[in-house]
Amino acid sequence: MEKLCISTERLAIVEFNESMVQTLHKNSLDEDNRRFVPDEVFETVEKARETIAVLIDCYGEDDAPLVYPVLLKNGELIGHVQIVPLDDEWEVGYHIAKEYTGNGYATEALKAFLPIVMDWLGIERVWGIVDADNASSCAVLEKCGFVLEQEEQREYHGEFRVIYRYLYCM
């Protein structure tokens, strides 16, 4: 896979590098991240550094989590988009730091990201799996063309919750 660099009107989606450690750590600590994706909370700068090192090693692989930072045009790290293996399929994910939510950044990033990575991976469908209480994330998926396929109650990050499974097809 070639090096990823996607540009939209307001954003850039690039590859992680060591200079992003502090901001990744800070952005991961907000309450929505803790509630909805606790496995993406990095309590220490060292944990963020270790995670970035692992993610960088995954670039170029076609069966590993592919996680890319989302930057404002001024270079400020505000979140990430990702596509990760899910059994024999793929799941998309994203996070925009709390201070930047409500501006359409997640939708803009995901709309730009999906066609490129799906083409790279040679896939035609991808899942978006969210906690039903995460109305903002559900709205992002719907704005990006995902269709609600299933509602189920199951364990999600250590708790039983209602989970929505959305599907996007090229």
Taking only the tens place, the pLDDT of each residue in 130-150 is 999 999 999 999 999 999 999
Residue the block writes with tokens 């993610």: 55
Q: How many residues does the chain have?
A: 170
Spell out the long-range contacts of 100-104 with Cβ–Cβ below 8 A and sequence spacing 24 or more: 101/32, 101/136
| pLDDT of residue 1 exceeding 60 | no
The string of pLDDT tens digits covering residues 8-36 is 999 999 999 989 988 888 887 777 766 76
Q: In the prediction, which pLDDT does 2 show?
A: 59
The string of pLDDT tens digits covering residues 60-117 is 787 889 999 999 999 999 999 999 999 899 999 999 999 999 999 999 999 999 999 9
d(CA 42, CA 151): 29
Beta strands at 89-96 and 125-131: parallel, antiparallel or unpaired = parallel
Spell out the long-range contacts of 2-7 with Cβ–Cβ below 8 A and sequence spacing 24 or more: 3/59, 4/59, 4/68, 4/116, 4/117, 6/112, 6/113, 6/116
d(CA 109, CA 117): 12
Q: In the prediction, which pLDDT does 75 show?
A: 93
Q: In the prediction, which pLDDT does 76 show?
A: 94
| All structural domains of the chain with their residue ranges | 6-123
| pLDDT of residue 168 exceeding 70 | yes
d(CA 46, CA 158): 24
Report whether CATH 3.40.630.30 matches the domain 6-123: yes
